[in-house]
A and B are shown apart, each in its own frame.
Chain A
Amino acid sequence: MASATGSLSDPAALRRRGRFNPGDAVLYGLTLIAALSALVLLTLIARELISDAWPAMEEFGLGFLTSRTWNPTGNVFGAAPFLFGTALTSFGALLLAAPISIAIALFLTELAPRWLRGPVGALVEMLASVPSVVLGLWGILVMGPWIVDHVGPFLHRTLGWTPFFETAPAAGSSFLSAIAILTIMMVPIISSICRELFLNVPRELKEGALALGATRWELVKGVIFPYARAGMAAAMILGLGRAVGEAIAVTQVIGNNEAITWNLFDPGDTLASRIASSYQGATTHLMVSSLVYLAVILLAFSLVVNLLARVIVTRVAARQEGHT
């Protein structure tokens, strides 16, 4: 790519002859500054957030993570209910989204007739471009009532013996609604990554399995899954990262409450949705600082998620290159 100029015969001689060109220097400088913008922004974001979260960090320390009280009038803040809500809704959504997404990806790569793959794939990806505030609006006004009237009573009747559906559903705003909305948001992300992965499984492996008499499901279980396993894990981690960071749609449907309960019909809150719902109500300095503390937790989490997914992908790429 960029090395095309230097390697012709004697690089040093060429460099000496290719005299200094001011136009090159200008373009190089401009593009370098632009390319550094990402690093600059990342450091700026981390620095500003940590410095503004500092008062809350000093006041509450790491106990912030385990304290259950969020009391603006008493000026006492703790993140435990939101950490719990984030974990419950994100993992709940992942539990639903992962099999659905993998199934969609399999349908699109192995089952669907060729002419159908493009359009269906495009439709699934369109689901990802529905703005979250629109999905949230649909979530409160259409899906919420539907859950209260139909899905909720059914779950309570059949699974009421588990801690998740103990009470009858009271309101459309609940952990369950948040899980449903997050599932809808995760599916297009995970399925489009899985689709790429499945397409990359070498054809010889697939044909070999079929030649040995494997059924299509055995091909999937025995060849495609093992081959794409690590990439699928990375896809799920990225989907999880998306769910953890989603603020708007979740705050619209989750009911904004500080609750630690396994009952999915109860309202709750996540880290991101608590920040979003407090946009007008942050009055004291310490409360703003506590909200920024929540944002720092989210920031740290998103960094871990991205780097983890990247490490998995690079390691797999290296391994697969070694194989062929």
Chain B
Amino acid sequence: MNLTSEHRTRRRIVNWIMEGLATLAALAAVALLVIVVGSIAKRGIGAIDFDFFMETPSFLAGFGNEPSGIANAIVGTFVIVGFAVLMALPVGVLAAIYLNEFAPRRIQTPMTVAFDVLNGIPAIVIGIFVFVFLVAGHGQAGIKGAFALAILMLPLVARSTQEVLALVPDAMREASLALGAPRWRTTLSVVLPMAVGGIITGATLATARVAGETAPLLFTTSLASNSVSWDPTNALASIPMFIFTSSEQADPALQEQAWGAALVLITFVLAASMVARAFGLRSRRRLSGGR
């Protein structure tokens, strides 16, 4: 009797310890996020003023009142990411249509695997690939950085679109076909409109994800001039590259600028992914509710 109750107490204590550890781990992860975001906000907010968005970096920022900002990096990121979306979005959505609407099962699986494998390739390898493929011997350009980001984006867009298309009820396709609409009309005016919310969600998440990528830009569009440029055939500055290069400087004024840029980037990325997630949840619920 004594033995069993001792045994029971031990089991209860072990259970109690394990539950405590699991709770602690979750707390630690949340605390870490708060610490990271908090220290970025604290250190970055001081750098942010009107000039920060309007001026270009001044390497005299530490001395006197030289205005300094990251206007060239903001414009560069906008152009690079914009072109990446223009390349990856149509190809990704079309590919998903093939995979979900047309592909025979035998082909569907290996082709989906190909997108997953592409998704697993490290960003730095994609960067080196675009370097040897397009940059070496021809020079850097914003559009080449955009191409590298588009390669990263493509599998994200294709797979998320594929998942949304799979949620569209077959009854809708059958109804449309039964009314005599050909396959392409059914796909473009019945299936796609039903899925468009989810597709936008996936595309926004993918955009937020690649907007913060540095590795693909290192070899493709890093040696930029210090002025604002909208021309994608030039090497363009970008927010991630600016953070990367200034993070390795000892100059505290430059470090403050890096924190400011990090705050801008993280605000954009987190806001975009939160909005997309909230929106996506709603449109997904509506889709599966329509079943």
Contacts and interface: CB of A to CB of B under 8 A. Distances in A.
Contact of A31 (B14, B97, B166): B97
Nearest to A279: B218
B287 interface: no
A187 B214 CA distance: 21
A5 B258 CA distance: 57
Interface residues of A, number: 89
A135 B240 CA distance: 11
B29 A100 contact: yes
A171 interface: no
B128 A275 contact: yes
Nearest to B133: A48
B33 A123 contact: yes
Interface string B227-270: 00000000000001001100110000001001100100110011
A108 B118 contact: no
B59 interface: no
Contact of B122 (A104, A108, A134, A272): A272
Of A41, A42, A127, A280, most B-chain CB atoms within 10 Å: A41
A48 B243 contact: no
Contact of A34 (B95, B155, B166, B211): B95
Contacts of B104: 2
Interface stretch (B66-74, B109-117, B193-201): B109-117
A302 interface: yes
Contact of B40 (A138, A280, A291): A138
A13 interface: no
Interface residues of B, number: 97
Contacts of B154: 37-38, 41
A141 B98 contact: no
Interface string B58-99: 000000000000000000000000000000001111110111
10 pairs of A and B residues whose beta carbons are closest in the complex: A131-B212, A245-B122, A31-B98, A34-B94, A103-B25, A247-B124, A215-B15, A35-B98, A34-B95, A23-B184
Nearest to A46: B129
B110 to A, nearest CB: 9
Given A4-B173, A126-B273, 14 more contacts: A28-B98, A31-B98, A38-B117, A48-B129, A48-B132, A103-B25, A106-B22, A124-B29, A134-B212, A217-B18, A279-B219, A280-B222, A291-B128, A298-B122
B6 interface: no
Interface stretch (A63-71, A158-166, A201-209, A303-311): A303-311
Interface in A287-324: 288, 291-292, 295, 298-299, 302-303, 305-307, 310
B36 interface: yes
A269 interface: no
